[in-house]
Amino acid sequence: MLKIAILVWLILATTFAGAAILFVLAMPSLAGQDMRLIPIAAAIGAVVAIPAAYVVAKRILAVTVRQV
């Protein structure tokens, strides 16, 4: 399951980090500090993707084990 979780995390981390960066850039109050906040937002997005990837990998594994 770890291999599946890592592959799912690669996609989710990119997506969540991109969404967090867009959030920072879209907020006018945060846009002034974008050079400092963009790396922080990207890191938070990547970290938040870890449990999400685990849940998705668990569901993928559950579905594929039933079908085999």
Domain ranges of the chain: 2-67
How far apart (Å, rounded) are the C-alpha atoms in residues 6 and 24? 26
Q: pLDDT (tens digit, 9 = 90+) per residue, 4-31? A: 999 999 999 999 999 999 999 999 888 7
Tell whether the model's pLDDT for residue 68 goes beyond 70: no
* Residue 60: Cβ-neighbour burial (10 angstroms; 0-12, 13-18, 19+): middle
Render pLDDT for 29-52 as a digit per residue (tens, 0 to 9). 887 898 999 999 999 999 999 999
Look at residue 33 and give its three-state secondary structure. Answer: coil
pLDDT of residue 1: 84
The pLDDT assigned to 49 comes to 96
